[in-house]
Amino acid sequence: MKISTKGRYALRMMLDIAKNGGTEPVSLNDVAKRTDISLKYLEQIVSLLSKNGLLKSRRGAGGGYIMTRTPDKYSVGDILRATEGGIAPVSCLDDEVNMCPHADTCPTLEFWQGLDKVISDYVDKTTLWDIIEKNRIKNGQYDYCI
């Protein structure tokens, strides 16, 4: 499994909005400047995040994007699934019911299921807040801006 730039940039974008927005809207232009991600690409990503209920938009002067919940309520898994579709390490695990004709006799299926569980558990227990705090401590920044 390889996370695409869309998933990686979505996580960076959500971290930026969490750190710089709070309850105020954040413009994509500002996010683009701070994260060094093209505005055009951010527009594609924000569409997916909004469609999945992770962000909402506010139009007009002072408009932008607002988080729909606090950073501690967003798992990395929420963000990656919204942008990547799925995060299973093999395609036969993408659907709830494994449709592979070899599933009953596959000697590696149990391994892939175990790997999928480890990945899902990790991305689902890690929140935006966890990442913000870890970086704040690592960089010696203790200003609580959220």
pLDDT tens per residue across span 5-20: 999 999 999 999 999 9
pLDDT tens per residue across span 44-101: 999 999 999 999 999 888 889 999 999 999 999 999 999 998 899 998 998 888 888 9
pLDDT tens per residue across span 54-68: 999 998 888 899 999
* Whole-number average pLDDT of the chain: 91
Place of tokens 């309850």: 23
Name 75's bridge partners: 127
CA dist 132 and 73 (Å) reads: 13
CA dist 122 and 38 (Å) reads: 29
Domains and CATH numbers, the chain: 5-138 (1.10.10.10)
Whether 146 shows a pLDDT value over 70: the answer reads no
Name 55's bridge partners: 67
pTM for the predicted model, two decimal places = 0.88
- pLDDT number for residue 22: 74
How far are the Cα atoms of 32, 47, 54, 117 from residue 44, in angstroms, in the given order? 13, 5, 14, 29
